[in-house]
């Protein structure tokens, strides 16, 4: 957290010894240790709360993305089939064959459930 090397730590301890004196230094170190421990506990608690608060929305976003991906894969397959049928019908028409009734079926656009509400 503080990223102190050994020599810097020794220098800080010597400065604390000079400023506080040998009588007050142990108590000051204890208080510093307790405060540091409390700050770390608070930071860990905050991280835990944040993760738990974000867990449910993230799960919902993943399920929505999966549902959208599945729907788009199905639509892509339908579009590919329609394109293939249209291409086959165009090739047959170019070759002079009579188009059959089932050669190029009409493709209906997917229904839009939100189209009626504005």
The DSSP annotation for 19-68 comes to HHHHHHHHHHHHHHHHHHHHHHHHHHHHHHHHHHHHHHHHHHHHHHHHHH
Structure confidence by residue, pLDDT tens digits, 72-106: 888 888 888 899 999 998 888 888 765 555 544 55
26-37 pLDDT, tens per residue?
Answer: 888 899 899 999
Q: What is the pTM assigned to this prediction?
A: 0.43
């Amino acid at each position: 957290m503080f990223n102190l090397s050994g020599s810097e730590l020794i220098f800080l301890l010597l400065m604390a010894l000079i400023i506080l004196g040998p009588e007050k230094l142990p108590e000051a170190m204890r208080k510093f240790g307790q405060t540091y421990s409390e700050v770390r506990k608070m930071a860990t608690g905050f991280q835990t709360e944040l993760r738990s608060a974000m867990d449910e929305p993230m799960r919902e976003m993943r399920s929505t993305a999966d549902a959208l991906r599945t729907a788009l894969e199905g639509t892509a397959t339908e579009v590919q089939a329609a394109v293939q049928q249209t291409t086959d019908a165009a090739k047959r028409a170019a070759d002079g064959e009579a188009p059959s009734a089932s050669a190029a079926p009409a493709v209906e656009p997917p229904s839009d459930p939100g189209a009626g509400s504005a």
